[in-house]
Structure 1
Amino acid sequence: MSSTKSSRPTSTSSSLMQEVVNALPGGYPESIQPPTSNQQSLSQAVYSRRSEYTKPKNIKIKVGTWNAAAYKGAEKDIALFVDGKGIAEGLTDLTVEDESESQDDAASQDRSSLDDREGVEDQEARYKKKKSTLPKNDPGLLPGGEDIGLYLLGLQEIVDVNSAAEALRPYTDPSVGQKWKREMEAHLPRGYKFVAEQQLIGMLLLIYASPDVAADIKSVSTTSVGTGLMGYMGNKGAVTARIVLGETTRLVFVNAHLAAGTDKGAVERRNWDYGQVMSRTKFEPISDSMGLSQNIGEGIDDADFAFFVGDLNYRLEGIPGEDVRRLLMLHTRNEYDLSKKQGKKVDKEIARNQASIERRRENRTSTDSGVSQVSTVRSREDDDVQDEDIDAEEALDAVDDPASLHTTLSSLLPHDELHQQQKARKAFQGWQEGPITFLPTYKYDAGSVGVFDSSEKRRAPSWCDRILWRTRRDMLSYESTIAEEEESKRKDEEMKNNGMDEAAKDEEMLYDYDPDEDADESGSYDEYDDAPPGTVITKEGFADEISLEAYVAHQRVLSSDHKPLDAIFSFKYDAVVPELKSKIHQEVARELDRAENEGRPNVTVVVDRPHSNEEGISDDDPLKFEGVWFGEVRYAMHKHRSLTVANTGQVPATVYFIDRPVGPGQHPGTSPSWVSMKIDDGTGKLSSDLSKRTLEPGQAFNVELELRILDVSLARQFNEGIKSMEDILVLRVENGRDHFIPLRGTWLESSLGHSISKLIRIPEGGIRKLQRQRPDSSKSTASAGSAIDDETPVKWSAPRELFRLTEVIEELTIRVTAEWGMLHDPSTQPPPWERFAGWPFVPQSWTCKDDKERHDRLADIAEALDTDVSFDSVFPSDISHIEKLESLAEFFIMFLSAMDQGIVTKEIWTQLDAGLIKQEKSKLPQSAEEQRTWAQEILSSAPSHSISFILITSMLDRIISETITAITHNHPALLTKCPPPATFLVTIPQNLRKKNWAKDGKEAWRQGVGRALASTFYGAMIRGGEEEGQKDKEKAAGRERKVRFLELFLL
């Protein structure tokens, strides 16, 4: 069986994702194609099929602004916004542009019921704070309720921002905003959803949507910008919200309260506030339907449609306030019954303003009074010709009637500071506003419909409250105009710098211009070249439309000195259907992927599956695992796997293995330390050269993986769970996609590397039995930590593994020395114990020289020890006793060397070493027997270590006796050589060879064997003694003491 991994790249869905992919192995190299190019082609292809995953929607957006002037109970009049109430139709040119017949019928019905609406006098007479001031029985003249898809209300001064306590408050009090929010939600149709809110001191922005529209809203972000005291406090500034509608359209709503005042610098301060709001407003990055976010947030200028509402505080400039109040109240008086109290107050105010005007005229010294032309406009009541004397056929249109409200407003608007600043390009460049057909919204006496400020300050009426909007098309058009003007200016400067002669030549060229010959044929394409006049191309490339239906003030709202202002927009947008877009995206990605892959290298990696009859492989193994599965792995066990790398593409492919990503403690390089790789390129020879190879289409090569854990420190790390038997190989395909090839196996814990304190806790059946009893052992695919812990009960006085190993080594030594003469001719084949001191533990004496065969035997011995089976059962049937003995001896040395803390621990050796040094310096040296007794007393402080020490030294003493006895029996002449020959002592390191030998030959040979064994075992049994920074001489002396210490128990 085999598993296949193809290099077909998966197209990414955004530049952000592409960056992430390229930052890791597996990403496409930058040299192939810029990621943005790939993304653009994908986006363009998806966009070209937009009609398949979008549906057009038409909604109405109602935008309102109101400065509540901190009047208590003003929130009770919130119905003006939702239901379109409080409009004085006689004081505005109310035209709702709606083609719906049902809407027209409803409007006609509303107007027919106006006769039932409460009169102005009665409405003003019942004015009380904290009560609704809307006229009773008002049917509402603007679309509202469920006809509106999106409600936006911008409020200012919901708290007293002129109060130092509020203006300098370090936080925004949300309780007042919550009152407005509750009132708003109480009047909205059932099912309308809250979208966003943002409050900054007295400014509050509320957005609600119908259920259908709310489902299309994503990426809502709100923010605030303070421009008040010190340029940052929140008594002035703006609260702003950004929403993405239908995944296609960015809408931004700004609710601002700009600097007040009529002094010389006030206009510039308002312009500055506007600039700060525009430049400092930043929203959260937008997340698309696939969860990918922008790197940075956007601002107001990035909106497809932006609405800027609020108390902008721009005033009427260059015209006396008395003139304006008198003219406007000549119109508002028509709303009153002049015989009643409220009507008489209006007449009184008109007379008061007229008297002020007359006094100003008397003080003039010139006939050119400089009075604005609007001061001479007369009301119908001041004309000599009365209304009833005018024949209906001769009645003038409002545009032509000098006494009409339209004419009065038209004469005032040229003095509007906002229009002047726009014209001068100092603020609100590119923004547009609906026709102003309503009275100035500021400043009125609270509780009145049409009485302008009658206080001592007598502030001049102004259109302070405004609703402006700007489309992306408006902004681009404005920027294009500025760019063209700058280019024209630059050319003019160049002409001037070139002198009159050059200018004359240019003039001649101007007269010689032929449109057919000289026109720029190439031109530059603009996204609006093919778009209808009312169409806006959004940033995402969709065509939306917007039109103003109504722009009107609510003159009959009495609860503030500002009149609320509304605008209703008809809005058409394309809404993405996420399921359809995802489907189209996948289809397009597959098509692009296929086309792209035809020109890319395409490599397939086939992982050969292990045979089910292989040791360590079972039917429970993860057959769906697509990587290299090694199955169960134990110490020194050999595992072999192979990969086939084939070029299955249509172009040559250059491949090579690269350094894989590693974590802390992992071995760096192309492969983990427990796996080796070699390549067979078809010649039959394996090579360790992992450099680049180029495969032609159809060519392939094999990768051979070898696993054998021989490093005991690595085995210890697997035992303890420090390392995991999970890793990867990374095959790089130049100009293609990298392949990640997982490596996995299940580590079988070994007794190798454990301390005596843990080994004595292993029960009969071995450590493997203990591992399989662990609850999660069947689920582990790597290594979850040792099966032995301090809570496991102690089973033995010394490790059972030591008992078994020392016993079998003693038995085989006796057998081998006894049968050698029966199986061999000693005269021609001298036994190894006669030729090498230290047999069977020194490598020079071993019969088997084949490393692979020796490693296989080590694996078998470890398995017998860990599963508690007889050693004979794991050895091949044809192996000799001496080969068994030598393999067990090799394993025994390795077992002791790997043992954590050793037989003689560092702490115990520190005491022993100090005593040995003291004895060396003593003038009365102790006998060998006294030294052994002293050493055993120190060793007995760790009983299990002491017993283990005695087991090993007893075994070694027995081996020395058996070998000397065998030499004495078979070649007694050898023992006459004193000291033993150098060839016999070659197994002893030069610096550890004895200098003083016994005079008796037999005893000298015993000393030689003992010294060889002590030199072999001291490093495996004793820990400590060599410290960092020690001199070589000190280290050599320490090793000599360890050897002599072991010799105490061997000779």
Structure 2
Amino acid sequence: MDHMLSTTQPDTEPEEGRVVNQEAITKIREAWIFKQLAQRQSEFTTFSSINLFIGTWNVNAKKLDFDDPNLLTSWLFPPENNGVLPDIVAVGFQEIVDLNAVNVAVDSKAKQRSELWQEQIHKCLNTKTSYTLISEVHLVGMLLCVYVKNTHIAKVSNVHSETVGVGVMGVMGNKGGVSVRMSFYDSSICFVCSHFAAHRENVAGRNADFASILNKTSFDIGKEAVQEAVRAGSVSQWASGSSAIGLKDHDFVFWLGDLNYRIDETLSTDEVFVKSNNMEIETLRAHDQLNIERFNNNVFEGFEEGVLKFAPTYKYQPNTDLYECRPDKKLRAPAWCDRVLWLSQNPAHVSQKNYLRSELNISDHKPVMATFTTQVKNILAEKRQEVYGEVMRTLDKFENQSLPKVNLNKIDVDFGELYYENKSSESLLVTNSGKVVAHFRLVPKLEDEGLCKDWISVSPTFGMLIPGESMTINFSINLDNKTAQQLNLGRESLDDIIILRLENGRDHYLTVSGKYARSCFGMSLRDLVVIGEPVRDLPLEPEARAEFEKKHPPSSLSVPKELWRIVDAINEKGLHEKDLFLQPGFAAEVKQIRECLDTSSDFGLFHVHSMCEALVSFLSSLSEPLIPSFSTPIVEIDQQNIMPWSRRFLEELPPIHYNCFVYIISFLREVLLFSKNNGLTAAKLARVCSNCMIQSDGGKNEVGRSRSMALIFLHFLTTNSI
């Protein structure tokens, strides 16, 4: 959602029904001027060619001989570059340490290892010429280092870095992305190093990782830097006073890393081995998952990649040039996991010179490198001032006429039926039907601070239209768990009024409405156990609900039917499945499972991991956590006093919560009987329980409380105490 246009001056009403805010007009006017300058930036911009080196390597936690400064030379200075030294070097690593639970939770080892790699790269680069490390950023096993040749240091500014973890169930940082952005001369460049979800069949997980990193990465570069980016044509329009930009708000984006896309399963593993060893690159390329997903616009939309002409870079026997096919090792079909892609606002300004792999062999991956020539901007200030004068004269011609007028193609924005955690979108068209420039903005209702209720997003929130020009205003609703809880309790309704204010004109009142399709997610256990009918049938309105309950007397279930159905389905799907509760399911399946629970319809064919994720999500969503805060220990406990605290814990649980807790623990004990197959331990399941059965209260004893609850969960999972 765009930032609300902020003003320090109050609105004034010079005459009845006509509201004016001159400060808002000035800001919106400035945004429009910036937009025109960006569109004409070629008239006041010259370009210089620079060379870039982009490298990525999953080192599989292996160590180099850090005393040899030339060990990386064949990778960082490939002979195919014909001695051309890059002006910018961006090198990304994955798995610089083992991605075990300790390293994910405690970052000290990763920091030490990243410093060793930085030193090695610095030594190697500076054997040729002088480079300076502009920025480094690491997240567990990922490391991104950006170097600039010393002759360009004075032209580097606004350097910022960010990290986004995705990991297991979206809460651990063992996968994700790290980013560095900078201004180089008058262009903006962003580098992203990422490590996506593994496993050949998990294409959707990798696509989701890309989307998560793309959407969550934001750089707070400051208001002045944002406005200068607009003036340089790097950002289309920004005058809301915001100081942040996203990944795509750059002239160039280079995305590198172990993206983990494999050869599609239409080729068997044996076929992939044969074709890789025989260098049948064209055939393998046609079955590459990333190429297929990009062709279908499912991922990396707008990005480009060079043609893969080298052999797949994964999976090798370390310290050899042989693909890993030993009988005592996991058999992985060779794949191009390691990739470099780019995005440019002007595709003609990027030319890839080489796309290669190195033959360094300490890891099970081969390093990959790409070299580019890019055209960076040099702004001619005097010429830009001339263009600015022309834009202002055009604007003045329209501003000197009469009052503004706009037409809206509708004022009622009806979303129809809305579902839990489903995003829905609608739009309306604003057209300047008058003869003068129209400035509009969305404003809060009297005594409100926000433009609208929290569950509504609107973009843009302001704009300027010349006569005859139209603009689409987009509305989206995402019913998150917090909103669903309020709807279930009758404390919220899906309706709101949004005010569109036409500066120096009249206000337009827009109604936004929808109908919530009730879900068991976001409800309380005490409500769920008395509902025998499908939750979807239970009306939200108090009067309609009272009438419904007359026809359908309350049930007296021991546990909610929805909980029983999920557990029963997991039992049927197979408790022997590897990494139950640790491997994420498929988003589309989790959504369909939720719909089946809400409507009491039969489950279809679902993966057991999707059913497990649905169970965790259901427990996490409860409006009252399964373990109330008053039932958790008030002091930190240990193995010496676990027995009395466990008894006290059970005694303080409300009856319904007690029934559900016993039911789930009994089920998880059954799961542990298959630990040889599913790889689970009581400690892992205790951690899952902590994540979904208790909720943070933000207190200062939060860490101790969580540790104590983990011990209690572990106690019940490993003993016959209940």
> Normalised by the shorter chain, which TM-score bucket?
0.3 to 0.5
Higher gyration radius (CA): 1
TM value normalised by structure 1: 0.32
Structure with greater strand share of residues: 2
With structure 2 as the length reference, what TM-score do the two structures score? 0.46
Higher helix share: 1
